[in-house]
Amino acid sequence: MDREVRTVMVVDSSSSMLFFLGLLLKRFEYRVVTARSGEDALHLMDESLPSVVLSDVALPTMSGVALLKQIRERPDCGAVPVIMHTAEDDPGIRDTCMQLGCAAYLLRPVEPDLLYRTIQAASESAPRANIRLRTSLKVMVGDGSVLGGAARTEYATALSEGGLFITTRYPQPRNAVTPLRITIDNREIIAKALVLYINDQGDGPSVEPGMGMKFVQLADADRAVLRRFIREQLTHDIADHGLGRSRGAT
């Protein structure tokens, strides 16, 4: 089900890193604001507090460590979680950041799923474990049996390693376990999923009718296909920015 949209402030002096992280986080369904220095970040926080700050250590003038210290000392923003995302593999810097209360210290390159889980853990009381991808995938729902229901073609509009949302006017009952066949890159994935909730057409004009489902039976090889598909969809057109493998142009 939909959650409140959280805001992530990304602080980095690299324009290519700001572009990459900004686009990736938007695909994670976060609102994103960016700053190229610690001073800019503090100025933006005077205007509106983000849900999370994601900062490099190597910033011009004011370092990321100094920024973290100032955030922690200010009563208006001291509770905002700060995640360090950096190439600075220095145990001393890491220890200092952790002592100052940073939520996590991530070394580049960081895989998208780890970044997502870390931000979720820092910002949500009930964090999601898996990235939810907006998509459009053909799904065969049911197998023609009484328990499986009549077989019909529907479309998944959200997908994660843990489950999916299927748009349909004919949802299965809540808690029903339903066979699914999902087509990804011409490969058919066979699974079973439990109906967690149902959106009815009468719930409002902005509500997508359908059912949210959790996988209860999925082979490891098929789960790996889902994981690879989600990662590729999130990063395929920004892969040149390398998941943080280099600082890039400034």
Residue 107 lies in a domain: yes
CATH number at residue 204: 2.40.10.220
Asked if 82 and 139 sit in the same domain, the reply is no
Residue type, 166: I
- Are both 80 and 188 inside the same structural domain? no
Q: Are residues 179 and 193 in the same domain?
A: yes
What is the total count of domains within the chain? Answer: 2
pTM over 0.75: yes
Backbone angles phi, psi at 7, to 5 degrees: -105, 130
% of the chain at pLDDT higher than 90: 80
Contacts of 148 (CB under 8 A, 6+ apart): 142, 178, 179
pLDDT, one tens digit per residue, over 106-162 is 999 899 999 999 999 999 999 998 999 999 999 999 887 756 667 899 999 999 999
Domain around 172: 133-218
Cα–Cα distance measured from residue 148 to residue 151, given in angstroms and rounded to the nearest whole number:
8
Q: At what angle are helices 91-99 and 64-73 packed, to 10 degrees?
A: 10
Of 95, 128, 161, the position where a domain reaches its end is 128
With tokens 């509770």, the residue in question is 79
50: CATH: 3.40.50.2300
Asked if the structure places residue 241 within a domain, the reply is no
Distance CA 74, CA 90 (A): 26
Does a structural domain hold residue 164?
A: yes
Is there a domain that residue 228 lies in?
A: no
Q: Residue 52 and residue 9: Cα distance in Å, rounded?
A: 6
Q: Would residue 240 count as lying in a domain?
A: no
pLDDT digits (tens, 9 = 90+) for 173-231: 999 999 999 999 889 999 999 999 999 865 555 578 999 999 999 999 999 999 999 99
Out of 113, 128, 143, pick the residue that ends a domain.
128
Residue 233 within a domain? no
According to the 3-state scheme, what is the secondary structure of 16-81? HHHHHHHHHHHHCCCEEEEECCHHHHHHHHHHCCCCEEEECCCCCCCCHHHHHHHHHHCCCCCCCC
Please count the other Cβ atoms lying within 10 Å of the Cβ belonging to residue 163. Answer: 22
Q: Are residues 161 and 111 in the same domain?
A: no
24 shares its domain with 121? yes
